[in-house]
Structure 1
Amino acid sequence: MNIITSARLVVAASLSLALAGCSTTSQEAFRQNPKGVPKVDICRTLLQTQDPNFAREMVAELTRRNVNPYECPSMVQKQDQAGAALAVIAVGGAAVAYCANHNCGGGYGGPPYPGNCYSYYDRAADGTLCGNRAAMIRPGGY
């Protein structure tokens, strides 16, 4: 599996996890335990429902919780932004972990070398400059 395929899989998995937290509520679940449904989920469902009776029930629950239904678009947007930020962090972390295990670092050319530090200006897998650790500076080249 190459790095691009791996990165695509990581992005897909991260977005799936981030969006899994952004859910709507079914009428049955809401009616069974309205107090157990997070207010942002009520807001998301309120913004998406086509059922006016269900919408009235959700507005009543939000009002009971001292939440103005007009705040719902902002609440949902903030949750979406937080989910997107988590996805970015997860993708970045996964890329760092992948590169730490697969020597993704490297420099600006030079002869083929099995590691990351051929030249002093290359970067090691941890992101630091190779400097005096570089193969071209060390006796024997390795």
Structure 2
Amino acid sequence: MKTYLMARRFGAVAISLALASCTTTQADFYKKPEAVSKAALCRALVETQDPAFYQGLLGEVARRGIAPQECYQMVQEQNQAAVALAAIALVGTAVAVCANNNCGGGYAPSRRYPGNCYSYYDRAADGSLCGNRSAMSRPGGW
């Protein structure tokens, strides 16, 4: 179970780093604005709190012919994809943990029943339903 928790944490860190790498710093932007990718430019435009940097980003977005609304939509789609990926990873982890810990419920005998009629709906050797002849139907089981 410790492995699954570590994998889940690693996934969360990987998603955070991936989204963080999709932005640009002010120094990188002002050094060479045309070298900044569209995704990094849009994410910085959406996330910045600095009005002067925002105006610079807005100017570069306009120079490239990108509508600001397109940036907001792209960042929203990236965030939704990241959330979906995290949800899939979380569900996968939960399924794996349950598979290893038998948290699905039901009866899991410690040893296999030696005959054909363990449950009411099993088939006997002659092909008929076991019904009340099954081990689960008898007091004390098998």
User: Do both proteins adopt the same fold according to a TM-score greater than 0.5, normalized to the shorter chain?
Assistant: yes
Aligned partners of 1:6 and 1:55: how far apart in 2?
42
Report the alpha carbon displacement of residue 14 of structure 1 after superposing the two structures with TM: 0.8
Aligned to 1:110: 108
- 1:48 matches 2:44: no
Aligned partners of 1:110 and 1:47: how far apart in 2?
53
Q: Structure 2: which 5+ residue stretches go unaligned?
A: 117-142
Q: 2:3 aligns with which of 2, 6, 9?
A: 6
Aligned partners of 1:45 and 1:36: how far apart in 2?
14
Which has the higher mean CA deviation after the structures are superposed, 37-46 or 21-30?
37-46
Structure 1 runs of 4+ aligned residues shifted over 6 Å read none
Report the alpha carbon displacement of residue 13 of structure 1 after superposing the two structures with TM: 1.2
CA contact (8 A) 2:24 2:40 kept: yes
Report the alpha carbon displacement of residue 89 of structure 1 after superposing the two structures with TM: 4.0
- Which structure is larger by alpha-carbon Rg, 1 or 2? 2
CA contact (8 A) 2:45 2:54 kept: yes
Quick one: which amino acid aligns to residue 33 of structure 2? P
Aligned partners of 1:95 and 1:65: how far apart in 2?
44
Q: Structure 1: which 5+ residue stretches go unaligned?
A: 121-142
Two-structure CA RMSD over aligned residues (Å)? 3.2
Quick one: which amino acid aligns to residue 46 of structure 1? L
Report the alpha carbon displacement of residue 88 of structure 1 after superposing the two structures with TM: 3.6
CA contact (8 A) 1:15 1:84 kept: no
Aligned to 1:16: 13
Aligned to 2:64: 65
User: Taking structure 1 as the reference length, what is the TM-score of the superposition?
Assistant: 0.59
User: Taking structure 2 as the reference length, what is the TM-score of the superposition?
Assistant: 0.59
- SS in structure 2 of the partner of residue 50 of structure 1: coil
